[in-house]
Amino acid sequence: MHPFSYTKAADVEGALNGGRRGGRFIAGGTTLVDLMRENVERPRELIDISALPLHDVTGTAGGGLRIGALVSMAAAAAHPKVRAAFPVVAQALELSASPQLRNMATIGGNIMQRTRCTYFRDVTAPCNKRRPGSGCAALDGFNRSHAILGGSDQCAATHPSDVAVAFTALEATVHLLGPDGERRVAFTDFLLQPGDTPDREQDLRPGELITAVELPAHPRPLKSGYLKVRDRQSYEFALTSAAVALHVRDGVIREAKVAAGGVGTVPWKLPAVERSLVGERQSDALWAEAAARAADGARPLRNNRFKIELLKRTVERQLRIVGGVK
C-alpha cells in the first residue's frame, strides 16, 4: 500500500477544504480500503467525512424522502419511512453484500462503489477504467458477468450497486455540495456510461461531496419490490435484477417505474417496459409482453448471451410479484 495522509473533517467546510486540496472522501471505507490494499487506488490524502451531519432520513415537503449520504445501508433498510414508502429500496439494500458490510457502508459510498470486474482489480491486466488507454482484458477475456447494455469498445463492466437500481427506477436525485455550491443531478444522469472515458464514472466535479439521495413523491399507493438473480443466494453480485414500482388505480396501471441491474454499465432504466404497462390492466399476458422489451438494444459478449433471456424472465417475474394478476 502506498503512503497517504488521513484527516478527519470536523465539519462540512473542513471536508470541502480537503476536497479542494484533491483529497479523497472516505466514510465506511468498504470499497476504497480494499482497492488501496490492492494498489488499484492510490490516493495521497484521505478525508474522513464520517462525522458530518448527513446521517438522517427525512421526509420532503412534497411527500418524498431524503436519505443522508452517511446513513448506513443497514439503517436505511430498517428505516420505517423507507420500508413504508419504498420497499424496493429496503429490499435492494437487504439483498446487498453482508450484514457486516451493510453496517459499515453508507448510501453515498454505495452509489460510488467501483466495478467488480476482476480485471479492474488485477493490476497486471490491461484495463481502460483503471489505466486509460491500456486496453480492456474483459472484451476478449472471460466476460460472463459483464454488461450487455451500455458498453463501449473501451469497457463493458457492470455497475455493482443494487440500491442504485432502485434509485434509477424511482427517478431519484443526487444532492451535491462542492466548492461552487450546491447542485442536484438526476440519478439517471449521475452514473456515466463508459463511452471513450471509462475512468470517468460519475457526474462529479472536483471536490464535490454527495450529501443526500432524494426519492421523489409518487402517487399512493405505490407497490414496489426488488428481485436479484445471482449464482448463490447470499453475498454475491447480481447476474440480473429488477426494481419495479407500480401505481394501480381502478384496476389500471397509472404509473410504472422499472429498472434492471447486473446487465448495464450503469443501472438500466427500462422506459419501453414502462410504456408497455401504463394504461393497461394487470395480467400475466401483460407482464410477459412488457418484459419482452427489457433487453432492447442488448449487445452480448462471448460469455454473457444468457443474460438476454435471464433479464426478460427476471423482469417478468418481478412484475408479477409486484403487480399480481387480476
Binding site for ligand SF4 (CB under 6 A): 115, 117, 119-120, 127-129, 136-138, 155-157, 198
Question: Tell me, what amino acid is at 67?
Answer: I
The least CB distance from residue 31 to ligand SF4, in Å, is 14
Considering beta carbons, is residue 117 or 290 the nearer one to ligand SF4? 117
Collapsing DSSP states into helix, strand and coil, what is residue 64? Answer: coil
Considering beta carbons, is residue 4 or 142 the nearer one to ligand SF4? 142
Considering beta carbons, is residue 128 or 224 the nearer one to ligand SF4? 128
Question: Tell me, what amino acid is at 244?
Answer: V
**Torsion on CA atoms 90, 95, 101, 106, rounded to nearest 10:** -30
φ/ψ of 65, rounded to 5, equals -135, 145
The least CB distance from residue 142 to ligand SF4, in Å, is 11
The three three-digit cell numbers of residue 179, written as one number: 466548492
Question: Tell me, what amino acid is at 232?
Answer: R
Q: Rounded CA gap, 269 and 207, in Å?
A: 28
* Angle, helix 284-291 to helix 306-323, in steps of 10 degrees: 150
The three three-digit cell numbers of residue 86, written as one number: 419504498
The least CB distance from residue 126 to ligand SF4, in Å, is 7
The least CB distance from residue 128 to ligand SF4, in Å, is 4
The least CB distance from residue 138 to ligand SF4, in Å, is 4
Considering beta carbons, is residue 29 or 126 the nearer one to ligand SF4? 126
- Counting Cα atoms < 13 Å in the Cβ hemisphere of 63 gives 8
The least CB distance from residue 298 to ligand SF4, in Å, is 16
The least CB distance from residue 154 to ligand SF4, in Å, is 6
Neighbouring CB atoms inside 10 A of 123's CB total 12
DSSP annotation string for 94-144: HTSS-HHHHHH-BHHHHHHPPP--TTTT-TTS-BTTTSTTS-BTTTTS--T
Considering beta carbons, is residue 68 or 198 the nearer one to ligand SF4? 198
Considering beta carbons, is residue 15 or 137 the nearer one to ligand SF4? 137
Considering beta carbons, is residue 137 or 166 the nearer one to ligand SF4? 137
Considering beta carbons, is residue 147 or 277 the nearer one to ligand SF4? 147
The least CB distance from residue 51 to ligand SF4, in Å, is 33
Q: Where are the beta strands (DSSP E) in 164-239?
A: 173-178, 181-186, 209-215, 223-229
Burial label for 217, CB within 10 Å (0-12, 13-18, 19+), is: middle
Q: Which residues pair with 242 in a beta bridge?
A: 227, 260
Residues 6+ apart with CB under 8 A from 114: 31, 35, 40, 120, 160, 201
The least CB distance from residue 120 to ligand SF4, in Å, is 4
Residues 6+ apart with CB under 8 A from 285: none
Considering beta carbons, is residue 82 or 137 the nearer one to ligand SF4? 137
